[in-house]
Structure 1
Amino acid sequence: MKKELRYALKDAFEPPNPIHREEFLRNLPLQKKSFGEFLLQQLPYIRKRTWLVSCLLFAVFFVSPRENWMAIPSLLPFLALIGITELARSSCCRMAELEMSCRFNLSQVLLARMFWLGLCSFPVLLMGLFTVGKLSAFDTAQILLYVLTPYLLTCAASLLVLNILRGTEGIYGCAAVTCMVSISNGIFQNTDAFYQSNRLIFWLLAACFSAATTILQLFIFLKKTEESPWNLFLIK
Structure 2
Amino acid sequence: MKNELKDALKNAFYAPEPRNKKAFLKSIRPREVSTVEMLVQQVKYIRTSVWIFALAVIFFALFGSWRQIEETKELIPVIMPFLAAGSVLETRRSRKYGMIELEMVTRFSLRSVLFARMLVLGLLYIIILAIISPVIALTFGGETIITAINLVLPYLITMSICLQVERSSFGRKLEYASLAVATFISVFMIWIKNYDFGLVHGSMELIENWGVLIVLILAVVTVYEQWKTINYVEEFA
Instruction: Bin the TM-score by the shorter chain.
Output: 0.7 to 0.9
Q: 2:50 corresponds to which residue? A: 50
1:171-223 Cα shifts (integer Å, max 9, x gaps): 32111110011111122223433145533357566534432321111111011
In structure 1, how many angstroms separate the alpha carbons of the residues matched to 2:88 and 2:105? 22
Letter in 1 for 2:30: Q
Tell me how far 1:166 sits from its aligned partner.
Answer: 7.5
1:67 to 61, 67, 70: 70
User: Which of 100, 115, 118 is equivalent to 1:114?
Assistant: 118
- Equivalent in the alignment of 1:210: 218
The whole-number CA distance in structure 2 between the counterparts of 1:195 and 1:99 is: 49
Q: Measure how far apart 1:49 and its partner are.
A: 1.2
Deviates more, 1:187-196 or 1:72-81: 187-196
Distance in 2 separating the partners of 1:96 and 1:83:
18
Match of 1:154 in 2: 158
Q: Residue 186 in 1 paired to residue 190 in 2? A: yes
- Inter-partner Cα distance in structure 2 for 1:166 and 1:33: 39
User: For the Cα contact (< 8 Å) 1:88–1:167, is it kept in 2?
Assistant: no
Q: Which has the larger radius of gyration?
A: 2
Q: In structure 2, list runs of 5 or more residues that go unmatched.
A: 1-23
Offset at residue 48 of structure 1 (A)? 1.2
Look up the match of 1:134. Answer: 138
Instruction: Supply the distance in 1 between the matched residues of 2:50 and 2:220 (Cα, whole angstroms).
Output: 25
Cα distance per residue 1:73-95 (max 9 Å; x no partner) = 00111111222111221122222
Post-superposition Cα deviations, 1:130-165, rounded to whole Å, max 9, x if no partner, equal 243124443344323211110111110111111214
Give 2:123's aligned amino acid: L
One-letter code aligned to 1:125: L
Contact 2:129 2:148 in 1 (8 A): no
Distance 1:57 1:102, change over 3 A: same
Q: Distance in 2 between matches of 1:126 and 1:84?
A: 21
User: In structure 2, do the counterparts of structure 1 residues 43 and 145 end up closer, same or farther at CA, with 3 Å as the change threshold?
Assistant: closer
Amino acid across the alignment from 2:112: Q
RMSD of aligned residue pairs (Cα, Å): 2.8
Could you list the structure 1 runs, at least 4 aligned residues long, displaced by more than 4 angstroms after superposition.
Answer: 201-206
Q: Is the 2:134–2:144 contact (alpha carbons within 8 Å) kept by the matching residues of 1?
A: no
Residue 72 of structure 1 contacts residue 147 of structure 1 at CA under 8 Å; is this kept in 2?
Answer: yes
Residue matched to 2:205: 198
Post-superposition offset of 1:167: 7.2
Q: For the residues of structure 2 that align with 1:37 and 1:137, how far apart are their CA atoms? A: 41
TM-score, normalising length from structure 2?
0.73
Structure ranking higher on relative contact order (CA contacts 8 Å, 6+ apart) = 1
Aligned to 1:171, the other structure's residue is in SS state coil
Distance 1:205 1:173, change over 3 A: farther
- Assess if the C-alpha contact under 8 Å between 1:81 and 1:154 holds in 2: yes
Q: Give the % identical residues.
A: 26
SS at match of 1:189: helix
